[in-house]
Structure formats: C-alpha cells, structure tokens
A and B are shown apart, each in its own frame.
Chain A
Amino acid sequence: MKDIADHIFDILENSFNAEANEVVLKIAYDKNHFFCSISDNGRGITGQEVLDPFVTTRKTRRIGLGLPLLERAAEDTGGYLKIRRKDEAGGTELEFKINTSHIDAKPFGDLAMTFSDIFLSRPDIGLKIFIIKEGREHLILDFSGLQKEIEEGSKDYLQIRKHIYETTKKELKSINVV
C-alpha cells in the first residue's frame, strides 16, 4: 500500500465484502494527526484476532493482509488501529490514527480518488462521508441517491464520478488533507 488513500479503499472493501450496505466514514485532521473511523452494518467481526494476518474469511488464500498492514502503518507513526464488533447482530466499528509528521508516515495519496473509485466498484452502496472540523461533524457526501440520479437520467455516470471527486477534494482541502 503506497498511501493512506489505498488503505482506506482497502478497508472499505472489507465492509462491502462483509455484506454491509450502509457505511459511515469520518475523517479529521488536526495538528498532524490524521484520524479516520468507519462504521458499517455488515456481518461483524468475531474478535480482535482479525488483526492477526493468519485470520481471514477469504477462501483463496489463508492470510488476510489488509488490517495488519494498516495497523502497522498506523503504529509505525505512534498511532493505532482499533476494530470492534458493534453488537450481537453484527456491524463493525474501526478507527485509526496516523501521525503524519512522523518520518515513517505514508503520504495521504489522492483520497478523493478513493471515493470516486468506491462508487465505481460499488455503485449501489450507501456510503456517507463526514469530515470533522473544530469538533463538529459535517456530512460532505451521501452516496445513496447518486445511483438513482443516473437511473432517472438527471445525471450521467461521468458527471457523478466528477461530482464525488470534486466535492470530496474541496472538503478535504478545507481540513488540509492534501
């Protein structure tokens, strides 16, 4: 994984692979600390052992790399990754922090591209993206309804992709995630 944008795309894929159709992602950036949380309504993890590379529900390969790699990327900077099951019914909550001033910190990469790519690979997903500014949460993009705009013909596919990219780019810039 070359950058934080790749990691975020990757852990969002985990949510979708766990049959989540509602995912809430929050991002904050303050004093060199990049914070990201993801909450989904998928089938939920069974325990912390998912951080062990030898734990995976995939069938094609016996190790899962996504979470251990992210944990390493976070801890290398003095940050952390936490993941837990929401409740018995399922759902997963995950958060991580990266100290971007640390010499081992990966660059942000193009996060806006991550979001337009997610729409490309999972167009019917209900993803909500928030940024946290001065302690307050702002909803910057809600994917639900975008697919419908295409179906109803009011927007086309490229327009939506551009819309996602430009909106999130602008908002991320407002919290200095560039």
Chain B
Amino acid sequence: MKNLEELKIMRDKAQKDLALRSGKHNIKIVIGMGTCGIAAGARETMNEFLNLILKSERNDIVVTASGCFGFCVQEPMVHIYAEDQIPVTYHNVDVEAARLIFDEHVLNNKVVEQYIFQRGKTNE
C-alpha cells in the first residue's frame, strides 16, 4: 500500500507525462523522421529533446515526429513552434545542437543562428 505522499507524487508525475503527449502546449518540437532523417541520426536527436524536456520539468513542451522535410543533406531537421512566434526550422541538428537549441530557443526564446535553416513556414 502506498502512502498519500507517494500517491501524490505519482499523480503529479503522471499529469506531467500526459501533458507531454496531449492537451495544450506552448512549444512544439517537430523532428523530421523520413529515411534521410533517420539515417542522419534523427532518433538520437529525438531522444535528446525528450530527455531535456523531462529534465527541465516543463510540461508545456512536446516533441513529435513528422515525415521528412525534403532537404536530405540538411537532416536531421527540426521545427520549433512556439506560441506567438514565427516557426523556425533548424538543420543538421545532432545531439549537441539539440542541447543548444533547447537551452537557447526553447527555454529562453533566443533563436540559434548557427543552425538556422529557415524562418517561417516550410512547404510541408
């Protein structure tokens, strides 16, 4: 039998997990998971973003996969959609770039020029 405190912790954790998957998010990280993205390491990038989200204890950020963005040599590619902001597409996002983008852009609203591919909508 779990005590009340344990149950409360479990519930809070579950709510956070749920928020990760559904409901309203202020920031959405979308990773291109076409063949070239996968070949270029998009799965590692996706896992890194997830770990960063969990570590940040923020429950309004979500990471999802989409098909390939169509610029194979630039993969892995990542879109960041933040509320009230122009979406930004980054290219060549390896694990190290993911950390930088997460710290600067996702958490602090600062676009990371070094990895920028495009500002605004892409053709997908």
Give chain A's interface residues, CB within 8 Å of chain B: 1-2, 6, 9-10, 13, 17, 58-61, 64-66, 69, 113-114, 117, 120-123, 147, 150-154, 156-158
Question: Can you name 9 A-B pairs with beta carbons within 8 Å?
Answer: A1-B35, A6-B43, A60-B70, A66-B35, A69-B35, A114-B43, A120-B47, A156-B16, A158-B17
Report how many A-B pairs have Cβ atoms within 8 Å.
80
Contact in complex: A13, B33 (CB < 8 Å)? yes
Residues of A contacting B: mostly: helix
Interface string of B1-45 (1 = CB under 8 A from A): 000000000110111111011000000000101111011000100
Residues of B contacting A: mostly: helix
Contact in complex: A150, B43 (CB < 8 Å)? no
Closest CB pairs A-B (n = 6): A60-B70, A153-B14, A121-B65, A157-B17, A66-B35, A61-B70
Interface size for chain B: under 10, 10 to 19, 20 to 34, or 35 or more residues? 20 to 34
In the complex, the chain A residue whose C-beta lies closest to that of B39 is A1
- Flag whether B50 is at the interface (Cβ < 8 A): yes
Contact in complex: A58, B34 (CB < 8 Å)? yes
Residue of A2, A65, A121, A158 with most chain B CB atoms under a 10 A cut-off? A121
Given contact pairs A60-B70, A120-B47, A2 touches B13 in the complex (Cβ within 8 A): no
Residue of B14, B31, B63, B71 with most chain A CB atoms under a 10 A cut-off? B14
In the complex, the chain A residue whose C-beta lies closest to that of B54 is A158
Interchain nearest-CB distance for B50 vs A (Å): 6
Residues of A within 8 A of B33 (CB): 13, 121
- Flag whether B68 is at the interface (Cβ < 8 A): yes
| Cβ contact of B17, chosen from A10, A58, A156, cutoff 8 A | A156
| Cβ contact of B43, chosen from A17, A59, A117, A156, cutoff 8 A | A117
Give chain B's interface residues, CB within 8 Å of chain A: 10-11, 13-18, 20-21, 31, 33-36, 38-39, 43, 46-47, 50, 54, 63-65, 67-72, 123-124
A69 to B17, CA, bound (A): 36
Residues of A within 8 A of B64 (CB): 121
In the complex, the chain A residue whose C-beta lies closest to that of B11 is A153
A13 to B69, CA, bound (A): 14
Residues of A within 8 A of B124 (CB): 59-60
Interchain nearest-CB distance for B12 vs A (Å): 9
Contact in complex: B72, A61 (CB < 8 Å)? yes
Contact in complex: B50, A150 (CB < 8 Å)? no
Contact in complex: A150, B70 (CB < 8 Å)? no
Contact in complex: B47, A117 (CB < 8 Å)? yes
Contact in complex: A6, B39 (CB < 8 Å)? yes
Contact in complex: A157, B20 (CB < 8 Å)? yes
| Cβ contact of A147, chosen from B21, B67, B68, cutoff 8 A | B21
